[in-house]
Chains A and B, each alone.
Chain A
Amino acid sequence: MLNTVLYLVLNTVFVVAVSPLVMSLVKKVKAYCQGRIGPPLLQGYYNLFKLFKKEIIYSQNSSFIMRLAPYLNIGFLVAASVMVPIVFLPQISGIGNIILFLYLMVTAKFFMALAGLDAGSTFGGMGSSREMSLSAIIEPVTITSVAALAFVLKSTDIPQMFATTLHGSLTQYPTLILVAFSLFIVIIVETARVPVDNPETHLELTMIHEAMVLEQTGPKLALMELSHGIKQTILMALSINIILPLGLAADAGFIAIIVSIVSFTVKVLAFAVVVGVFESMMAKIRLFRLPSFFMLALFFSFATIVFELLA
């Protein structure tokens, strides 16, 4: 019981805390690649603090959906984050169903998209429409990757998967590398990054995610941004802890937790660098070309499955 409470608090606090940092780091890396200095690493935190102090303004046309969406968003994403152990592997079992994990994120997205439509502005509608379309076509990819993971690791429980890879090694599960590719693409899509989306611009041609939250203001926007960061962190955590679980604490010891937190921070920052570099290398793909990009991920997942089936 104590273990569970400790896990809940620690894991949640850590995820919430580290998310803005990761977001800022990606921005920083991209700035470096473009020859700029970029914002300070703590800019994410500053932004949140600033937004929390700002006034909330609602559009005249909006309804309770707009008001509720940020709360629901953060609620569901934090709930999802609970399912991805970062600080240590909890003793409680059966809390980390990967399908539930994915669908919690979909739920968050669902309400975000509704909020985008709520005010009746063209931007919001466009964002929602694109977001839901992309999420629909990425979903088979995601699920197939998950199926591949479940196949390889013989489990659908995230902590259990982590435990399996933690106690084994990558050489035991060579196909995980293939899955990692598709997971990476899934992360790119889900976190609204180039070449799928461009979080930097506010140009209607390119943006998806930003367009949806355009009408949000003040603390509400902060909640939205924060939940976006959380989403990115937990998705990264999922792939990190499967591919490279080194350092993850198997149980709740003080030292182990410190090691776990430090090692994860290092890994996630490294991942952020990779994402940043990747983003800088790519150009935005046309919306209707995206399905073929996703097919690449689907191919990796399927290849994994077929490989495992024949092996």
Chain B
Amino acid sequence: MIQALFLGGGVALLLAAAISAIGGQGSGSGRRRAALGLVIVGVIAWCSACAIVLADNSNLTFQLYQLTPQLGIAFHLDRLAAFFILIVSSVTACVAIYSFRYVEHTGSESRRDMSVAAMSVFILSMVLVVASANFFAFIFFWELMSLSSLFLVMFDREKGETAKAGIYYLVMTQFSTLFLLLGALLLHRYTGTFDITSAGGLTLSTAGIIFTAFFIGFGTKAGVIPFHKWLPFAHAAAPSNISALMSGVMIKVAIYGLVRILLDVLSPELWWGTLLLVFGTVSAVLGVIYALKEHDLKKLLAFHSIENIGIIVIGLGLWVIFGNYHLKTLADLSLFGALFHTLNHAIFKSLLFMTAGSVVAATHTRNIEEMGGLVKTMPATAAIFLIGSAAISALPPLNGFASEVMLFQAYLGAFQVPSPLTAVLLFTALAGFALMSALAAACFVKAFGAVFLALPRSHEAEHAHEAPMSMLIGPGILAAACCILGVFSYQILKGIGLDLPVPNVLPVSLVALTVFGLAVLAVRRMEAKARVSETWGCGIHAQTSKMEYTASGFSEPIITIFSPIFRTRKIAHREFADKDKSIVSGGSGEVHTLQFFEERIYMPTAQFVKRIAGYVSGLHNVDLDANVMYIFVVIVVILLAVGQLL
């Protein structure tokens, strides 16, 4: 039954890809709708399969296909995999609904077709990665996932920005795959199997190396700083439904890999936890600080993905640390907090990306400085975005809080850790965690405020229209999920048999709701008589959008406080009228924010490689004589070596 549902879902996705890839003449919106409908059917099948697995706690392993005598594509569904497939499929379903109209808004017919086809393959490969029972299948689908998403990122391929995103994405994604290969093949070296099962008999250092390889591999895909640089580029350049999938789901697949490795394959050591914690904290804090500085709506959201991945990684790190000290409750809190946050982030981040997509589609810009006032023209989108913002800012009673509080609870239990050093580390990380969470709220006040509130700051923003129904239903469902998963988090966790010390949000929400109701009742008479008028503005004649607080103005204080992180590079050039350089005749000056990771790590590495590559290429751009000389030298060397060695 499970197997049939699972395979049926796969077939539906393949069909969807085929329908849209084959294409046809004329308008293809019907065709693409059929394909997206099939996608939804497919993911619903998966959802049901996973629901059965989760409910029965059953394990299912089956081989789909023996590709070569040694290697087969086999799948294994257990609760962990089912949970992640559930995340993938449920979010995907909403994105597919959203895409009904979204894909029609831009691009040529054939490009839309390809986009839907690649999207189907992308979704299929993500699910199959999670379901893989061995590393061969895992990497097989992982690569498919990477490349299909690369196609999707390259949707607007003529834009220079897209090209940059594509190059970053491709290189980093290959980087990630190669580290996975490293990890998987090292495991194979020592265990002799490709199956994703517990690897016994590894020495500590070997296990550490394997873990590090996997961490870098998965961390790159997940966007852990410093391997994150592709993420803002790719998410910004991709169409929004794709950003929603990539940010909401794809990076979670990497998290799945990490959890699987830590949970089932290797037995984690303390320092792994520390490593995860440190990287997680750095990602979380820097991610949100970069987001504050960002004025590109989609890049802003992308940096928040980095932040949230940081949170999840922190959760995993805490789990490993507490697990090592045998603090079971705390470890469980951390692990399930991380997993819960994975689900939650998938929900609210894809929601945010989808609504951001609607906004971008309506205003034709991604720069939030050119938006504003959209709450009046796009109220439904605004409301959904608001819920998403509140959720990602970890505000109770929404789901973002529900999972972050689990990690807070775990952190607050850090005093039980016997090692003072680790405890101090944990408390320091806690401070970072708190900072991150508050900054996230600040950032979303900024984002929501700049995009939706006050007066429109551009012509496009002024004439924006509400998104069509399908583009509201998709994120709308997710918004509802945000509320339900938040308010009933305690009950849900109880329901699935986890007895963890988490706060019960339901009564508090009830109290808040009651008070809210009472207050509304109390004011209802005055509210009915409320007047809309011009308010006092210190004698300003008429308020215009020029006077508003902009996004940059809003984040200015925080940027100033964190100015050491935003280092600038100043380029000054002066021209002098006289020889003694005393009379300045003119000049120019530029101030750039130093993109630390790009300018100090990525670009120098790329430059270094390019320099060597240039040198090597130079060796090839020579005439015949030089070529013969190479051979001559090599032969002489070989002869010398032969004389020595034999």
Contacts and interface: CB of A to CB of B under 8 A. Distances in A.
**Touch test A–B (CB under 8 Å):** yes
Contacts of A78: 511-512, 515
Contact of A140 (B432, B531, B555, B560): B432
Contact of B535 (A59, A103, A129): A59
Nearest to A128: B445
A94 to B, nearest CB: 6
B505 interface: yes
A136 B445 CA distance: 12
B524 to A, nearest CB: 10
Given A75-B512, A100-B405, A114-B449, A135 B438 contact: yes
A76 B538 CA distance: 32
Contacts of A79: 508-509, 511-512, 515
Contacts of A103: 394-396, 401, 405
Given A78-B511, A82-B511, A126 B442 contact: no
B383 to A, nearest CB: 8
Interface stretch (B149-157, B232-240, B540-548, B638-646): B540-548
Interface residues of B, number: 86
Interface of B, secondary structure class, is helix
A99 B337 CA distance: 15
A73 to B, nearest CB: 9
Interface stretch (A19-27, A36-44, A116-124): A116-124
B14 interface: no
A117 B515 contact: no
Contacts of B526: 52, 54-56, 218-219
Interface in A122-176: 122-126, 128-130, 132-133, 135-144, 146-147, 150-151, 154, 156
B520 interface: yes
Interface string A80-102: 00110000000000110101100
B226 interface: no
B434 A139 contact: yes
B379 interface: yes
Given A113-B445, A218-B526, A219-B522, A120 B455 contact: yes
Interface in A26-71: 52, 54-61, 63-65, 67, 70-71
B408 interface: yes
Contacts of B530: 55-58
B557 A130 contact: yes
Contacts of A308: 415
Contact of A100 (B445, B503, B548): B503
Nearest to A94: B504
B619 interface: no
Given A57-B533, A144-B430, A129 B555 contact: yes
B572 interface: no
Interface in B250-264: none
Contacts of A133: 442, 557-558, 561
Q: Could you say which of B376, B441, B442, B537 has the most chain A C-beta atoms within 10 Å of its C-beta?
A: B442
Interface string A291-311: 100000010001001101110
Q: Could you say which of A103, A123, A140, A291 has the most chain B C-beta atoms within 10 Å of its C-beta?
A: A103
B445 A117 contact: yes
Given A103-B401, A147-B411, A288-B560, 11 more contacts: A52-B522, A95-B504, A99-B412, A103-B396, A106-B438, A113-B445, A118-B449, A120-B372, A302-B427, A305-B423, A306-B424
23 contacts: A12-B515, A55-B526, A57-B535, A63-B376, A74-B515, A74-B516, A79-B512, A110-B393, A110-B441, A114-B453, A117-B454, A118-B453, A120-B373, A120-B549, A133-B558, A136-B438, A140-B432, A143-B430, A151-B415, A156-B412, A215-B535, A305-B415, A309-B420
Interface of B: 372-373, 375-376, 379, 382, 386, 390, 393-396, 401, 405, 408-409, 411-415, 420, 423-424, 427, 430-435, 437-439, 441-442, 444-446, 448-449, 452-455, 501-505, 507-509, 511-513, 515-516, 519-520, 522-523, 526-527, 529-535, 537-538, 543, 545, 547-549, 553-558, 560-561
The 5 closest A-B pairs by CB, nearest first: A125-B549, A120-B454, A97-B503, A139-B438, A143-B434
